[in-house]
Structure 1
Amino acid sequence: MESGDKDEPLETRLVRVRGDVQGIGYREACVRRAHSLGVTGWVRNRMDGSVEAILQGSPEQLANMCAWLSEGMSAALVEELEVTEVPPPFLRFDIFERLPTL
């Protein structure tokens, strides 16, 4: 699915993934999944062992991405997915990338 349809509403979510999600390639898999869905934003590890992401796209794209994040990848054990809606105005992202640990 590609983003970019001007008629489709753009939404932004801040997501925190808790569980065994660091040191297993979770962020790289997240980047690949976001690219395949047309989701923009970023993902990074947090010092507390969680993974944090900003997701931007249509409601359907974000629902698909959050479903993937909650299932994780086969090596991940996701214990909690916390999703917060970011109200407009918000920065528009052109790509999805991996950021350094915070």
Structure 2
Amino acid sequence: MDARNGNVAEEARLVRVRGVVQGVGFRENCVRYARRHGIAGWVRNRHDGSVEALLQGAPQQLAQMCAWLRAGVPGARVDALEVEAAGVPSPRLEGFGRLPTM
């Protein structure tokens, strides 16, 4: 907790999802899940066939989002989930959206 204001400190994670994760509605469902659970950030397809996401929120929110990403969506097959700590953007990211493929 942040002793200054009593709020849970936020963290950020850069996540790469590998497998059959493009063309199956993965990004759209990711956006819906993140928005529903108050997670800020973005998601995008990568040219190598993976999906990449920057997630910002409380540690428990990020753990739940990563568990959701591991499970995937119907039609997807998640082979690997790579998660690394990312610096918390300042100012805080607002909302959750899709970025163009990179």
Fold shared per TM-score above 0.5: yes
Q: TM-score, normalised by structure 1?
A: 0.90
Q: Deviations over 1:25-82 (max 9, x none)?
A: 1000000000111100000000000000000000010001000000001211000000
Q: Is 1:11 matched up with 2:11?
A: yes
Instruction: Report deviation, 1:6.
Output: 6.0
**Residue-pair matches, total:** 97
Q: TM-score when scaled to structure 2?
A: 0.90
Tell me what 1:31 maps to. Answer: 31
- Counterpart secondary structure, 2:9: coil
Q: Distance in 2 between matches of 1:66 and 1:25?
A: 17
Unpaired runs of 5+ residues, structure 2, are none
Aligned 1:1-102 pairs, distance under 5 A:
7-88=7-88, 90-91=89-90, 92-102=92-102
For residue 52 of structure 1, what is the amino acid of its counterpart? E
Instruction: State the Cα distance separating 1:86 from its structure 2 match.
Output: 1.1
Structure 1 residue identity aligned to 2:21: V
| Residue identity (%) | 57
Contact 2:24–2:74 under 8 Å retained in 1: no
> CA-atom RMSD, angstroms?
1.4
Structure 1 residue ranges, 4+ long, deviating more than 3 angstroms after superposition: none
